Amino acid sequence: MDYINPFRDSEMCSALSKEIKKFGREVRFMEVCGTHTMAIHRYGLKSLLPENIRLLSGPGCPVCVTSSMDIDRMIACTHAGIVATFGDMLRVPGTFSSLEKEKAKGADVRVVYSPMDAVEIARKTAKNVIFLGVGFETTAPSVAQAIKSSPENFMVYPMHKLVPPALKKLLEGKNRIDGFLLPGHVCTVTGTKGYEFLKGKIPCVVSGFEPADILASILMLVKQIEEGKADIEIEYGRSVKREGNQKAMETMYEVYEPSGALWRGLGYIESSGLSIRKEFGSKDASALIKEEFESEEREGCRCGEVLQGLVEPVDCPLFSRVCTPLEPIGPCMVSSEGTCAAYYKYGGYA
């Protein structure tokens, strides 16, 4: 089966757009995932929607929701050994510095493409190798597997976050959200059971990432509203099953357990992060950081509000004037999945 081209078919997209335009009510749908945000901007999907349907970007970019405190602590990890990270984290500013700046000053910070690359580095050195465990349920199982199969000098600084508790917090907040486009990659791993607390409260559709996927998902949300339903539906059926990937989830929970976590924009949320279990305690790099940090967000940066869909990047006075992908002030401009980066890249600013 061709999993891409049929979902990019322009006639199908036009037909879906025509159906969506029959809906007359003012609604606000949030795309939770940063990959959706990028796809919506890359394919110009907002231009295929009527004005009464507004899309809000959510907290689904893992780099963007990492707090300044965690970035400051990650930078402190450079004093304890080799730091291995996905490239997006490199340029995210903490309170006083970034991993990129520390690397320029001589810290051993290496970009890797998977946690197993970091394990390979550990196998070739006697130094500690600290992998920065950033990401949602999509990446946590592979990091857990790396922990299980790594030499003694491999450690992880755990910053993984879980999506469902963040959605619960968003619904309790001041933003009006009429439907969620749920994250397709995360739900491929978790399935949809963890989202069932949303049933009866708000329409939800797990969406794929091609333009026809996203438009079809919006149409499904619209139909739920028309029919007075608040269900969890799956549009991305070619990847997502209700039960998810059991093996991946078992591996994740063998190594990690839920714990409270600090989110940029959303604050502290109970059971929204993952800590390394006691049995794997020797792998937990957070135990190496003894310093206390007076961490602060960058002055004037509105990432916290962008991540809750309260403002758009263009509402930030720094957007494109002071803050650009080359000179980013906040993580939403750094990350390849960041909302500010999407507006900049596809909004005629690049």
Q: Which residues bind ligand SF4 (CB under 6 A)?
A: 301-303, 306, 313, 316, 318-319, 323, 329-330, 332-333, 340
Give the nearer residue to ligand SF4 in terms of CB position, either 287 or 322. Answer: 322
- Smallest separation (angstroms) from ligand SF4 to the CB of 184: 25
Apex CA 116: angle with CA 145 and CA 63, to 5°? 85
Compute the least distance from the CB of residue 74 to ligand SF4, in Å: 18
- Residue 91 or 302 having the CB closest to ligand SF4: 302
Q: How far is the CB of 53 from ligand SF4 (least distance, A)?
A: 24
| Exposure string for 253-285, b = 16+ CB within 10 A, e = fewer | ebbbeeeebbbbbbeebeebbbbbbeebeebbb
Q: Taken in order 70, 75, 80, 82, is the CA torsion positive or negative?
A: positive
Contact 325, 333 (CB under 8 A): yes
- Closest CB 254 distance from ligand SF4, rounded Å: 36
Q: Shortest distance, CB of residue 55 to ligand SF4, whole angstroms?
A: 17
The residues with which 31 forms a beta bridge, in sequence order, are 57, 181
- C-beta closer to ligand SF4: residue 236 or 344: 344
In whole angstroms, the minimum distance from the beta carbon of 287 to ligand SF4 comes to: 31
Closer residue to ligand SF4 (CB): 235 or 297: 297
Treating both helix axes as pointing N-terminal to C-terminal, what angle do 246-255 and 140-148 enclose, rounded to 10 degrees?
60
For strands 267-276 and 256-263, give the pairing: antiparallel
The residue number with the shortest CB distance to ligand SF4 is: 330
Residue 81 has phi, psi (to 5 degrees) of 155, -160
Q: Which CB, 90 or 155, lies closer to ligand SF4?
A: 90
In the complex with ligand SF4, which residue's Cβ is closer, 45 or 332? 332
Contact 39, 214 (CB under 8 A): yes
